[in-house]
């Protein structure tokens, strides 16, 4: 019997902070997991930047575009940041992703590193998994009617004041209709996935992944009546810089600094969605309970 998936894209951490012992550890983990996948009869394709960072040459290296075209599934080893980065890039190909947590929180990389040998075989060989689709934001920075920056975001689009500046003044519109002007440290537009990230720390609500909506959350607003709001995701949100110095916009930490007065950050639903695969019996509420430490002490 053929395995449910045959070609596996293996992706690891490759950000700039990896050096010395961290690189060696990342290389060893990827080699161990890749070797295990090969022992299951699967072909392993290593993401090119992961190969370059770790120096691992055991598996053929492929660009993200090649992985999207050639791989049946992706196994992502790292933290949520690693998954966010590859998820945005592979969404256009519809490649399903499995996350092995080698980071801290692990909201979307939900398989413990020590458990992969027992968890992966039924998922990869028999197709025993639960599938979970996540929406993406498409954000654009418009200046004098022209797009000067564009990016996808799985978590959030954030407009922030400058590090040494006071509050910014932002005008918010939804589907071309004026909503309000806010004086605040910034504004967050978050997906349901991102509702457990920066938006949560700024006082926003949790949004279940199946809810087709966004969370609009002001950051430290001047007026206490400026509260978070949940919006339907077909709506387009525009945030205009009215006043304030050194404002910046970030799209899952992909940043454009030095926004100008009059710049408009326009956010809408992307045409792409990210596909996550979880072990059979996975529950979003189990993840929340474990990561947010609900019911600690047996309550």
* 267 and 180 within one domain: yes
pTM, full prediction: 0.92
In a domain, 298, yes or no: no
Which H/E stretch holds residue 290?
Answer: helix 284-291
* 149 and 121 within one domain: no
In a domain, 279, yes or no: no
In a domain, 288, yes or no: no
User: For tokens 């022209």, what's the residue?
Assistant: 146
* 157 and 98 within one domain: no
In a domain, 283, yes or no: no
pLDDT digits (tens, 9 = 90+) for 273-295: 999 999 999 999 999 998 888 98
pLDDT digits (tens, 9 = 90+) for 63-80: 999 999 999 999 999 999
* 144 and 263 within one domain: yes
Full DSSP string of 161-195: --TTS--EEEEEEETTEEEEEEEESEEEEE-TGGG
For 265, the domain range is 136-271
* 102 and 82 within one domain: yes
In a domain, 176, yes or no: yes
Asked if 85 and 50 count as a contact pair (C-beta separation under 8 A), the reply is no
Which H/E stretch holds residue 288?
Answer: helix 284-291
What percentage of the chain carries pLDDT values higher than 70?
Answer: 96
CATH number at residue 170: 2.60.200.30
* 214 and 150 within one domain: yes
In a domain, 119, yes or no: yes
pLDDT digits (tens, 9 = 90+) for 21-45: 778 888 999 999 999 999 999 999 9
pLDDT digits (tens, 9 = 90+) for 146-204: 999 999 999 999 999 977 778 999 999 999 999 999 999 999 999 999 999 999 999 99
Number of domains within the chain: 2
CATH number at residue 100: 3.40.50.10330
* 14 and 81 within one domain: yes
pLDDT score, position 258: 83
In a domain, 43, yes or no: yes
Whether 222 has a pLDDT exceeding 80, the answer reads yes
* 263 and 168 within one domain: yes
Which distant-in-sequence residues (6+ apart) come within 8 Å of 177 by Cβ?
Answer: none
How confident is the prediction for the chain on average, in pLDDT? 93
* 265 and 156 within one domain: yes
* 66 and 20 within one domain: yes
Q: Which of 61, 93, 127 is the last residue of a domain?
A: 127
What percentage of the chain carries pLDDT values higher than 90?
Answer: 82
Q: So which residues are the catalytic ones?
A: 80
Map residue 87 onto helix, strand or coil: helix
**In terms of Cα–Cα distance, which of 174, 198, 186 is closest to 80?**
198
In a domain, 276, yes or no: no
């Amino acid at each position: 019997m053929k395995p449910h998936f045959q070609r596996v894209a293996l992706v690891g951490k490759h950000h700039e902070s990896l050096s010395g012992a961290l690189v060696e550890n990342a290389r060893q983990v990827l080699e161990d997991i890749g070797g295990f996948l090969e022992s299951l009869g699967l072909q392993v394709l290593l993401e090119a930047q992961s190969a370059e960072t770790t120096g691992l040459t055991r598996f053929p290296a492929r660009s993200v575009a090649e992985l999207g075209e050639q791989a049946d599934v992706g196994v992502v080893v790292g933290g949520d940041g690693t998954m966010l980065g590859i998820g945005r890039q592979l969404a256009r190909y519809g490649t399903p992703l499995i996350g092995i947590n080698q980071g801290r929180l692990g909201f979307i990389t939900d398989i413990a590193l020590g458990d992969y040998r027992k968890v992966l075989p039924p998922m990869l060989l028999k197709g025993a998994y639960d599938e979970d689709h996540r929406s993406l934001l498409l954000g654009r920075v418009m200046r004098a009617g022209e797009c000067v920056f564009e990016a996808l975001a799985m978590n959030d689009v954030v407009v922030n004041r400058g590090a040494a500046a006071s509050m910014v003044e932002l005008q918010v519109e939804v589907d071309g209709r004026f909503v309000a002007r806010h004086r605040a440290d910034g504004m967050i537009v978050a997906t349901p996935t991102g509702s457990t990230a920066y938006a949560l720390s700024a006082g926003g609500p949790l949004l279940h992944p199946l809810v087709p909506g966004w969370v609009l959350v002001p950051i430290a607003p001047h007026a206490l009546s400026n509260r978070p709001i949940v919006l339907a995701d077909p709506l387009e949100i525009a945030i205009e810089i009215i006043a304030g110095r050194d404002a910046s916009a970030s799209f899952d930490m992909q940043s454009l600094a030095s926004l100008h007065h009059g710049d408009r950050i326009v956010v809408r639903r992307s045409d792409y969605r990210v596909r996550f695969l979880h072990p059979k019996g996975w529950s979003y509420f189990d993840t929340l309970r474990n990561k947010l430490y609900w019911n600690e002490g047996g309550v």
